[in-house]
Amino acid sequence: MRSPLAYVPRRGPLEEAGAVAATAFLLSFAVVALACSNPIVLAADAAAVVIAGVLAAAGRALAAAARWGLTLAVVFVVVNALASQRGETILLRGWDLPVLGQIDVSAEAIGEGAILALRVLVVLMAFAVHTASVDPDRLLRLLRPVAGRSALTASLITRLVPVAAADHARLREAAALRGPAAAPVGRTAMGRRLVAGSLDRAVDVAATLELRGYASGAPRSIGSRRRPRHWGRFALAATVVLAAAVTALITGAGASESYPLIEIDSGTGTVALALLLPLVAALPFIGSRRHG
């Protein structure tokens, strides 16, 4: 079964925008989540990522990231509620521990944990949509003029890791078919065989790359490359989102305070930023036909 985060070619606007524009578009929403702490803005940012993911046909990746993010959200809220002993609104008087002292749970600590959890959720969903929608080969090709060996290494890793996982599954299946009288194969023996096979494959890959001329350096590109279709609209959307985030940081819009009391800015700038994010997430997809 294919992983929900695995890249699948989708002949849609985001795929046709190119790796640079698509990456800038999706990661701009992650920047907003890291730059703003206002729950109103974070909720709108999450809605924007969901809109972009659905329109990019990456719903399975969104669902997987949401499941992981919600699990982490519970951990963030619980840990912050117990670890942060600040806030004036005490909801629960805790116990006196020998080293930590009295542990109290405040509404401000729970709110701060929820804000951190929402930030993590937005970032996870943005990267999940990026992983499922942007061709990794195109991203690695962008690094080739800057760091050709690193790009080649990353490309090999992205392909050999699934092969190693398949080898482990086959070795485990072969060990189970040895019969009840055979000695059980422990994790150490399984890992030793897996590493030995991976080393043999690495030698073969290195010899193949040398025969194909990779040791002599990367060839120069010939001719000019056409700009990807729809790259302009997604690049413009990313620019608008990043400019809005910078403006919010400068003007103080989208800010909030958790201690000593919860204070959430709901002024005009915050509301405008919250309305802008979902709109900008949907606009690049409007008027674009999906192919295939």
pLDDT, tens digit only, all 292 positions of the chain: 567 877 888 778 888 888 889 999 999 999 999 988 899 999 999 999 999 999 999 999 999 999 999 999 999 999 988 888 888 888 888 777 666 677 888 889 999 999 999 999 999 999 999 988 888 878 777 766 666 666 667 667 767 777 887 888 888 888 888 777 777 778 888 888 888 888 888 888 888 877 777 666 655 554 445 677 788 999 999 999 999 999 988 888 888 888 888 888 888 989 999 999 999 999 999 876 554 4
Which of 216, 240, 258 terminates a domain? The answer is 216
Q: What's the chain's length in residues?
A: 292
Domain membership flag for residue 290: no
Contacts 24+ apart (CB under 8 A), 244-249: 244/32, 244/273, 244/276, 244/277, 245/28, 245/31, 245/32, 245/35, 245/36, 248/35, 248/36, 248/41, 248/273, 249/35, 249/36
**What is the C-alpha to C-alpha distance for residues 40 and 271, in angstroms, rounded to an integer?**
8
pLDDT at 254 (0 to 100): 82
Which of 182, 216, 250 terminates a domain? The answer is 216
Domain membership flag for residue 1: no
The answer to whether 142 and 121 are in contact (CB under 8 A) is: no
**What is the C-alpha to C-alpha distance for residues 119 and 174, in angstroms, rounded to an integer?**
44
The CA-based angle 169-125-25, given to 5 degrees, is 120
Residues 119 and 145 in one domain: no
pLDDT at 292 (0 to 100): 43
* Strand spans (E) along 60-153: 90-97, 101-106
State the amino acid at position 250 in one-letter form: I
Residues 149 and 179 in one domain: yes
Residues 78 and 193 in one domain: no
Distant-in-sequence, close-in-space partners of 80: CB < 8 Å, separation ≥ 6: 109, 110, 112, 113, 116
pLDDT in tens, 63-95: 999 999 999 999 999 998 888 888 888 888 877
The residue range of the domain holding 175 is: 140-216
The owner of tokens 């999940």 is: 128
- Counting DSSP H helices and E strands in the chain, the numbers are 10, 4
pLDDT at 282 (0 to 100): 94
Residues 129 and 252 in one domain: yes
pLDDT at 86 (0 to 100): 84
Distant-in-sequence, close-in-space partners of 100: CB < 8 Å, separation ≥ 6: none
Residues 20 and 118 in one domain: yes
Residues 117 and 242 in one domain: yes
pLDDT at 274 (0 to 100): 93
Residues 32 and 57 in one domain: yes
